[in-house]
Amino acid sequence: MDSDARPPEVHPQMMSLYVDSAVRDEVEPLLATGLFRGMTTNPTLLHRAGLTGADLPAVYDWAVAAGSREVFVQAWGADAGAIEASGRKLRELGDATVIKVAATGAGLQAAAKLAADGIPVLVTVVYAVHQAVSAAAAGAQFLAPYVGRMADLGLAGREDTLQMHRILQSSGTGARVLAASVRSTADLVALAAGGVDAFALPVPVCRALLHDAHTETAAAAFDALSAEW
């Protein structure tokens, strides 16, 4: 080995928070805080914002302009070929685009094809631990378990999500859990304490991360004293 050769620089994985919304007036102020890496969308969120797939180029443009380093958009189609084709088309929005595919048989097949060509993929609508194995085998970059919805069904949302995290950690693929359907800061804290470091958060949870009543009371007292200096 060349004595002058240096090992590649290793950067620690950073906590990655994403705003789970397509409403511009909600997303832009949160991106402006610098705490959020980007935004996640899906057809339901677009519909709630009064948008359709035709609006995605404009959504992508304003999100990136506001500081989003990653914009997640969902591919669709009746079969694997159609999902793959829509994913490739969506990737043309720009380099910040991450393609979301549902964790169906067709979706996983499309994910494998997209990932094989270097297109970043998130496997979404995940409810079962074994889907982490499938997503890792497909080469997905992210896996999105629906933590709150799993709990609604009587499943162990937090515990199963942490098990998925451990599976991906041991897979050697670099794939990460991106926890979705996170309904409270308590969910976020429990998962983060277990090692999960990527979250798609609804706007109320994003805003809750910026505030604590005790902290604000103490900060106000400091401000009152410093005003006298």
Tens digit of each residue's pLDDT (9 = 90 or more) over 83-126: 999 999 999 999 999 999 999 999 999 999 999 999 999 999 99
Angle between helices 80-91 and 105-116 (to 10 degrees): 40
Q: Terminal CA-to-CA distance of the chain, rounded, Å?
A: 62
Q: 16's torsion region: left (phi>0), alpha (psi -120 to 50) or beta?
A: beta
Task: Spell out the domain ranges in the chain.
Answer: 16-226
Residues 16-226: name the CATH superfamily: Aldolase class I (3.20.20.70)
Q: Name the DSSP class of 156.
A: -
**Whole-number Å distance between alpha carbons of 132 and 66:** 32
Entry pTM: 0.91
Name the token pair of 47.
């519909």
- Predicted confidence (pLDDT) per residue in 27-84, tens digit: 999 999 999 999 999 999 999 999 999 999 999 999 999 999 999 999 999 999 999 9
- pLDDT band (50, 70, 90) for residue 196: very high
Find out whether 144 and 165 touch, Cβ atoms under 8 Å.
Answer: no
DSSP string, 11-61: -PPPPEEEEE---HHHHHHHHHTT---EEE--HHHHHHTT--GGGHHHHHH
Burial class (CB in 10 A: 0-12, 13-18, 19+), 219: exposed
